[in-house]
Amino acid sequence: MSAHSVGATDPAPGRSQAGSAPSGSSDPRSGGAWGSTDPAPGRSQAGSAPSGGSDPRSGGAWGSTFSWPVRVYWEDTDAGGIVFYANYLKFFERARTEWLRERGVHQRALRDEAGGMFVVSDCRLRYLRSARLDDLLLVTAQATEVGKASLTIVQSALLKPQQESEPPVLLCEGEVRAGWVDAQTLRPARIPASVLQRLQAAPD
């Protein structure tokens, strides 16, 4: 999804502060407290919402939570040795793109076949804790609201603990609204029925 206009709110960039892990979350990539199976990265699954929020990741018409693993590299960190705040937008973008891909929606093909594309029209992030070099993150994506010309996706970045008995730690959470536009004029348009059907269908 291309960035059309983005706005981030809340804490100072990359600032570490107290936060809590989502209750009852499970890790799709390991056993123990994170789950009893080890499906391949990028598979959708049911899970619990971050504390203090509703449960946009519990399934429903738009499916379960999609998750994508992200390793923190040198290029992701700032002078303070933590992940630069804007890079969470990149992590979320990757997860959204792979979420679409899992459902057979390929963004290059959308331009060629449907004549349109998704662009970000609004983005709100909240930073709770900091990620550091070599940390392994689990980035989630879940569509919570779908209209005729836009959809809203709730996302989060969780830190996978070193010990399987420990719960995941919520680092960053956000909500992204993406609108459908004509690829040539960039004017708002209705999401094609064929695209909506792919989003509603079970993952491949």
Active site residue 55: no
Q: 55 vs 18, 59, 142, 183, CA distance in Å? A: 21, 9, 10, 33
Q: From CA 106, how far away is CA 110, in angstroms rounded? A: 6
Out of 78, 134, 182, 204, which one is annotated catalytic? Answer: 78
Beta strands 150-159 and 169-182, pairing class? antiparallel
Q: From CA 128, how far away is CA 159, in angstroms rounded? A: 11
- Asked whether the beta carbons of 148 and 204 are under 8 A apart, the reply is no
Residues acting as catalytic residues: 78
